[in-house]
Chains A and B, each alone.
Chain A
């Protein structure tokens, strides 16, 4: 069953993942097709690595945690329909993973990092609610991103 509220969802793609120079965390930069909306989400080092491997199409000798999750999904004939970044509270983002199993849609509460790492492996779309996009943290985010772009993105492109 489709959710009724898909009207206020915006599809985002993972543009890049960059290390936060000040901490051990990584920043996932999500952007819509028209490049008018940008959403950066801070994730842990391991989760960031899981996203990077999927973005770069790297196959590791042994399955990493999210590869295992994909393996569960495949073996049990479950389809990941989409993942949605649904909320932000005190700079913590919340996400849901929408699954179809035996014709029934089910949702799982997840951190965006896990949801995105899984979405990239299952080629599922990533959405954000308009509300979250409006409330994304930081007033001068665009200026910050622009600065970040010139300083740090170069190496990622190689």
Chain B
């Protein structure tokens, strides 16, 4: 089983000096936080805010490459969580065949946003996510730590 999720927020985690992408399902009942690096966060933030950089950034280049060879991103799926490392798959359609490519969730999300492709999370990942710990952590966050995508 997989659940469609959307990027609902992007915030800075001052304790780990990293960024967190908040994914939520349509009912806002499940939440999946994904810790990403600074440059990946910036790639996601540019796509969320529809900012076109003067020069193509790395994920813009990937998208242009896929467009150029006529490959289409069908979907991306966050598939697994193992010792705080998340795994994702990018599903591509190319010449009537489907290809599945291993990726970090940060790259997969940055690409999905550029390609307007849906993002899914496997049930196992959402279940594994220890929400108790997360909620405690979220309580410690100040409102200004949140990005403006939280709706």
B-contacting residues of A (Cβ < 8 Å)? 44-47, 61-66, 68-69, 71-73, 75-76, 78, 92, 94, 97, 99, 101, 106, 108-111, 114
Contacts and interface: CB of A to CB of B under 8 A. Distances in A.
A73 B65 CA distance: 9
Contacts of A69: 58, 61-62, 65
Given A65-B107, A76-B94, A108-B68, A47 B58 contact: yes
Nearest to A113: B58
Interface stretch (B6-14, B96-104, B124-132, B136-144): B96-104
B65 A108 contact: yes
B48 interface: no
Contacts of A99: 65, 68-69
Contacts of A101: 68-69
B99 A110 contact: no
Contact of B101 (A65, A66, A75): A75
Contacts of B59: 65
Contact of B37 (A46, A47, A78): A46
Interface in B30-44: 37-40, 43
A46 B38 contact: yes
B101 A110 contact: no
B151 interface: no
Given A63-B103, A110-B56, A114-B58, 19 more contacts: A45-B38, A46-B38, A46-B58, A47-B58, A61-B85, A63-B104, A64-B104, A65-B43, A68-B104, A69-B62, A72-B66, A72-B71, A75-B94, A76-B92, A92-B54, A101-B69, A108-B65, A111-B56, A114-B61
B99 A75 contact: yes
A76 B99 contact: yes
A46 to B, nearest CB: 3
A82 B80 CA distance: 36
B74 to A, nearest CB: 14
Contacts of B58: 46-47, 65-66, 69, 114
Contact of A109 (B43, B56, B87): B56
B61 A108 contact: yes
Nearest to A49: B39
Which has the most chain A C-beta neighbours within 10 Å: B65, B85, B103? B65
B19 to A, nearest CB: 13
Nearest to B86: A62
Contacts of B57: 111
Nearest to A94: B55
A72 B65 CA distance: 9
A46 B39 contact: yes
A65 B99 CA distance: 18
B69 A45 contact: no
Which has the most chain B C-beta neighbours within 10 Å: A63, A73, A78, A111? A111
Interface string B59-81: 10110111011010000000000
